[in-house]
Amino acid sequence: MTATARFRAPGWYRAALSLVIAFAFAVALVTGVRALYGWEVLDWGAIGTVAMIAMPLAFLVGIGCFDYWFGWAIGKPTVPDDHSSHGATSWKDYFKVNTDHKVIGIQYICTTFIFFILGGLMAMLIRAELAQPGTQFVDPNTYNGLFSVHASLMIFLFIIPVFAGIANYVVPLMIGAPDMAFPRLNALSFWLLPTAGVMMVASFFADGGAFATGWTAYAPLSTETPFGQQFFTLGVQFAGASSIATALNFLVTIITMRAPGMTFWRMPLMVWAQFTTSLLVVIATPFIAGSQFFVLLDRSLGTDFFTAGNGGDVLMYQHVFWFYSHPAVYIMMLPGFGIVSEVISTHARKPVFGYRMMAFSLVAIVILGFTVWAHHMFVSGMHSWLRIPMMITTMLIAVPTGVKIFSWLGTLWRGAIHLTTPMLFALGFITMFTLGGISGIMLAVIPVVIHVSDTYFVVAHIHYVLFGGSVFTIFAGIYHWFPKMTGRMYDEGLGKLHFWLSFVFFNLTFGPMHFVGVDGMPRRVADYADQFATLNAIISISSFLFGLSFLIFLYNMIASWRHGPKAAGNPWRAHSIEWQVSSPPPIFNFDEVPTVVGGPYEYGVPGAVHAVFGDKKAPVSAAHGPAPTPAGGGAPPPNDP
Amino acid sequence: MASGEAMRRRHPLLGVALLSALATAIGIAIVLSIDWFPSQASTAAKDIDELYYVLAVVSVPIFVLVMAVALYSVFAFRVRPGDMRDGEPIHGNTRLEIVWVTIPFIIVSILAAYGWVVLNDIEERKQDTLTVDVTGQQFAWSFEYPEQGKLQSNQLVLPKDRPVRFRVHTKDVLHDFWVPHFRLKTDAVPGLTTDIRVTPSRLGTYPVVCAELCGIGHATMRQSVRVIPAAQFDSWVDEQRQGKSDGGVAAAGGDKTAAGRQLFTDTGCDACHALADAEATGSVGPDLNDIAAAAARYGKRQSQSPTEYVKNSITKPNTFIVPGFREGLMPETYSEQLSEAEIDTLVEYLLGVGKEKDAQ
């Protein structure tokens, strides 16, 4: 390839060139405008802001996310898609714009785990600083930056998108679709993500340090702090855009591309979970985008959305922010509910108990989830009457959540339980999430929360629901679908070791935080009163061991992906459609379109199948004629030898 | 032995139920034996603590129930790898599902009602209330007693058993006024005045903590509240007025260094500055242990005496910024908060302590 061709074809060379052009554009625009106004020409803050909008967009153009649409828009003759870019044949293909949902799923998962590791390392630094009272390793400003970036990465660059990644891989397969509804939009959604992550991490190099106002970025602190804040304000926009586009894609895919016969009441609960999560994302995410745009305008253009003296309203920020960020908690949990339903049903070999109630409870959580946001603001000085209804709705969410936990227990009951690694993580999830739910109820009761809000009790609660809850389900899902995604088997022994170490050290790390919180230790502090020293030392030591336990997972994943034993198409003998194709699946998922003939979890029902290939009718009997391949596994007929 | 075996076979769940009951009892005993809270220094604390203990106790049987079913299932229904059996095809049980929707609904409704009752109790308006204006700023609290002739103070002192109404304000960003021993907190919000009511019920000194991230010095934005017998409150007020005119020297028994040290801590200087004599370790602003030398050096540059330099640094902090620190971090309000005499005491103390160190 000649040098110029290299810079003209989509890819990393063109992306690098685009970045340079975008930066030059930012400098030219800002200096030009300032010169016209007769101001001092160079203003690096303004240049930085424009560059942070222009450069990510230019990168996306350069890497090739928009090529097809641009060509179409300018009236180029459309080339019939030859699908030459579908699938991945070498590791290099994962660094290109690819429209295959399976490739995008892997891209999502690997990218988000990189940010998980970075966020985890920041947590280790935080715990090192907190091991003793006083200041040891980092100054207060860096400390505030560390916990802010830690939380932002974990929320916006790990938990939310890794679920999108797992679902990207398995949901089209589960509903019998050849791909997502909008493959090019899917690729764009993915590439927006590393852009946002790099911006957040890069904020550490900004003048004045990383953004240090927490992931909540409360105004007016966030409108007054140094330039690092801008990386959050804008980074969130790209992560949010990615989220919204993916959610739309899932909604359209799930509504319009289900295989023949797959009614809503035959969808696996993973699909239900992704459907309800996507509803939450589409409705809620624009609100955080709005809140951060207000901050951006206050910072960059001198508007007064949050300047109290000039007609601004400081509490408005919190209302708008939490109107997204409380539903975001469910955005980070519902996909995990879906994964756990798949894992428990498959590995306990039983139908999901109360399938319809499981689906209804997801919908109930979506609706109730929008009516509780102000429970984050019980001490914020908002109208005091508003606290009571928000307390009641918050506590009511325990009802549909309880339905889910009891139904999983009902699924375990009289099953044939295989204690595989994904099953262990699902069981660990039930334990931790129940505890997180209990502390959640306490945090809904206003007199209690007046004392414990903004303390380590809240830190403990959020990690019980987001790590013991969400991240445990992520591990369960990764182990469960690892054979499907890679075509190889992970090491069961290492998986179990990973579970037990995580489980033990997770509790030793976050359990004691309940005690220091109630006893009076505020969160987000680099230094604390001596009375909390002992427990904090224990927490820190546990957290380091907890961090190390992740290395076992990492080794298991990498080594098994490269050298693990080949996996069968359906190692778990599961019924849902993704297991009825080879591991990894064929490039276009299905050689023949499957037909769904029953529920997804008919374990123990003699002869029951979920889907069949090749014939529109359900198999009558295996003994007569050229029977279609029963695709759903199912229990062997009673008299089968 | 044989009959026990038969029992177990006939009632496999009896043992589980007994174990669960035992676990519940132990769990409740543990929850109740833990000393969760700081000591109770307000009338509200008792109600709030009780509510918390009730919530914690109610949680135990729920958690035990979930664990018992999960663990029993794992032990009773576990199969070996390679076992191809399926579980029983049970798809649900409508009656059971109605039960586990209804019972949690009733439990949370009762708890919510209980919470509401306690909330009304602790926020009840009482007679003979003392009003105190609390103002947060990066990174210190200041207090004003409007009914005591608008007495301004950097210390919070309250009479025991008298209801207090705090009106909380902020001069810059969000803060949160929290006294863990009172169990009460509220945000200080730009543009708003927020309210909380407390009746201190126990003598002693308790921390005042900022609980809302307010910037670089948030972690050290801590002061204290002193609850004194009601009879001593008026004399404390007089003493404060006196202190405004003599810089607190009389209150410290004529010891100027002690008066300065007290002022340094009460004003919250220790939140941001390090000073060994006052056991302060803040790192937001310059280290004051070598302030005598620094004042001589930087003062000379601006043709000020060390005394003038230190005084200006307190009253007009942004006119000169020590290299390595950021402008706008130190509040510009100390000239209003402190009297002339107090500032003089503080300046003399700082330069004196700095020199002592040089002499050693």
Q: Give me the pLDDT at residue A637, please.
A: 39
- Of A45, A222, A115, A130, nearest in space to A528 by CA: A130
- Asked whether residue B47 is domain-assigned, the answer is yes
Would you state the structure tokens that stand for residue B156, as one six-digit string?
A: 């919070």
- Summarised one tens digit per residue, pLDDT across range B272-305 is 888 888 888 877 888 888 888 888 888 888 888 8
Are B88 and A604 within 8 A, CB to CB?
Answer: yes
Q: For B233-269, what is each residue's pLDDT tens digit?
A: 999 998 888 877 777 777 777 788 888 888 888 888 8
Size of interface A-B (CB pairs under 8 A): 274
Domain boundary among B230, B247, B279: B230
* Residues on chain B touching A221 (C-beta within 8 angstroms): 173-174, 213-215
Question: In this predicted structure, what is the pLDDT of residue B299?
Answer: 86
Q: Is the pLDDT of residue B32 over 50?
A: yes
User: Residue B88 domain-assigned?
Assistant: no
Does residue A629 surpass a pLDDT of 50?
Answer: no
pLDDT over 70 (residue A640): no
Contacts of A398 in chain B (CB under 8 A): 104, 108
Q: Nearest CA to CA, how far is B303 from chain A (Å)?
A: 31
Distance between CA atoms of A163 and A333, rounded to whole angstroms?
9
- From chain B, the residues in CB contact with A446 under 8 A are 115-116, 119
Residues A561 and A572 in one domain: no
Distance CA A574, CA A481 (A): 11
**Residue A242: pLDDT above 90?**
yes
> What are the tens digits of pLDDT across the range A149-172?
999 999 999 999 999 999 999 999
Tell me which residue of A418, A609, A412, A353 sits closest to B84, measured CA to CA: A418
Residue A622 has pLDDT above 60, yes or no: no
- Contact check, Cβ <8 Å, A399/B101: yes
Which residues of chain B are within 8 Å of residue A141 when distances are taken between CB atoms?
A: 216
Q: Are A138 and A242 in the same domain?
A: yes
Interface test with A, best of B54, B66, B72 (most A CBs within 10 A): B66
- B61-73 burial code (b ≥16 CB/10 A, e <16): bbbbbbbbbbbbb
Rounded Cα–Cα distance for residues A525 and A535 (Å): 15
How many of the other CB atoms lie within 10 Å of CB of A551?
12
Better pLDDT: B348 or A118: A118
Q: What domain range includes position B51?
A: 2-75+94-122
Q: What is the pLDDT of residues B182-213, one digit of tens each?
A: 998 999 999 999 999 999 999 999 999 999 99
- Residue A14 C-alpha from the chain's centroid: 29
Question: Is A532 in the same domain as A457?
Answer: yes
ipTM for the whole complex:
0.89
What residues in B contact A515, CB-CB < 8 Å?
Answer: 34, 36
pLDDT digits (tens, 9 = 90+) for A469-479: 999 999 999 99
pLDDT bin (cut points 50, 70, 90) of residue A631 is very low
Confidence of residue A84 (pLDDT cuts 50, 70, 90): low
Backbone angles phi, psi at A542, to 5 degrees: -60, -40
B59 has a pLDDT exceeding 90 = yes
**Which residue bears the tokens 């260094």?**
B257
Query: ∠B287-B293-B295 over CA atoms, to 5°?
Result: 80
Residue B25: the pLDDT is 96
pLDDT for res A635:
42
| A419/B78 CB distance under 8 A | yes
Tokens of B203: 């003598």
Q: pLDDT at residue A489 above 60?
A: yes
- What pLDDT does residue B10 have? 58
* CA distance, residue A328 to nearest chain B CA (Å): 21
The confidence score (pLDDT) of residue A292 equals 96
B-chain residues near A214 (CB < 8 A): 213
Mean pLDDT of A213-228: 93
Token pair 């043992």 in the structure block, residue: B15
Q: What is the mean pLDDT of residues A526-541?
A: 94
Report the pLDDT value the prediction gives residue A499, as an integer from 0 to 100.
97
CA atoms of A623 and A612, how far apart (whole Å): 16
> Rounded CA gap, A285 and A278, in Å?
10
Asked if A438 and B215 come within 8 Å (Cβ–Cβ), the reply is no
CA distance A154 to A175: 29
pLDDT score, position B6? 53
Q: Do B185 and A451 touch (CB under 8 A)?
A: yes
Residues B264 and B185 in one domain: no
Query: What mean pLDDT, rounded, does chain A reach?
Result: 92
- Verify that A125 and A233 share a domain, yes or no: yes
Q: Is residue A322 part of a domain?
A: no
Amino acid type, A595: T
Q: Are residues B306 and B351 in the same domain?
A: yes
Question: Cα distance from B235 to chain A (closest Cα, Å)?
Answer: 31
* Range(s) of the domain holding residue A605: 568-641
- What would the mean pLDDT of A484-507 be, rounded to a whole number? 96
% of chain B residues with pLDDT over 90: 51
Residues A376 and A200: their CA atoms lie apart, in Å, by: 24
Residue in B51, B62, B284 closest to A445 by CB: B51
- Looking at this protein, which amino acid is placed at residue A429? F
| pLDDT at position B290 | 84
SS3 A606: strand
Q: Which of B51, B85, B214 sits opposite A448 (nearest CB)?
A: B51
User: Of residues B302 and B31, which shows the higher confidence score?
Assistant: B31
| Closest approach of B339 to chain A, Cα-based (Å) | 28
CATH number of the domain enclosing B307: 1.10.760.10
**Residue A613, number of CB atoms within 10 A of its CB:** 18
CB contact under 8 A, B105 and A396: yes
Strand locations in A315-472 (E): none
To the nearest whole percent, how much of chain B has pLDDT over 70?
A: 95
Statement to judge: residues B30 and B114 lie in one domain:
yes
Could A522 and B192 be called an inter-chain contact, meaning their C-beta atoms sit closer than 8 Å? no
Of the two residues B185 and B321, the one the predictor is more confident about is B185
Residue that is last in its domain, among B167, B195, B230 = B230
Q: How do beta strands B164-170 and B130-137 pair? A: parallel
Residue B196: how many CB atoms within 10 A of its CB? 23
Q: Is the domain of B175 the same as that of B277?
A: no
Total number of domains in chain B: 3
Partnered with residue B135 across adjacent β-strands are: B142, B169
Pairwise CA distance, residues B311 & B308, whole Å: 5
Residue A632, pLDDT > 50, answer: no
pLDDT of residue A1: 63
Q: State how far the Cα of A99 lies from the Cα of A106, in Å rounded to an integer.
A: 12
Q: How many domains does one find in chain A?
A: 4
Local confidence band at A615 (pLDDT 50, 70, 90 cut-offs): low
Q: Which residues of B touch A417 (CB under 8 A)?
A: 73-74, 77-79, 87
Residue B243 within a domain: no
B89 CB neighbours in chain A (<8 A) are: 350-351, 602-605
Residues A122 and A67 in one domain: no
In chain B, what residues touch A427 (CB-CB under 8 Å)?
A: 70, 74
Please give the Cα distance from A577 to A570 (Å, whole number).
10
pLDDT digits (tens, 9 = 90+) for A387-421: 999 999 999 999 999 999 999 999 999 999 999 99
- Mean pLDDT confidence for A294-303: 94
Cβ separation B284–A140 shorter than 8 A: yes
Report the distance separating Cα B13 and Cα A406, nearest Å: 18
Which of A448, A575, A601 best probes binding to B when mutated, by most B CB atoms within 10 angstroms? A448
Phi, psi dihedrals of residue B177, rounded to the nearest 5°? -85, 110
> Residues of chain A with pLDDT > 70: what percent?
95
CA distance, residue A502 to nearest chain B CA (Å) = 18
Identify whether residues A558 and A577 lie together within a single domain. no
The shortest CB-CB distance from A409 to any of B70, B78, B87 is to B70
Of B37, B85, B118, the CB nearest to A416: B85
| Lowest-pLDDT choice from A83-87, A524-528, B29-33 | A83-87
Please list every residue in chain B whose beta carbon sits closer than 8 Å to the beta carbon of residue A387: 119
The reply to whether B27 and B101 lie within a common domain is yes
pLDDT at A639 over 70: no
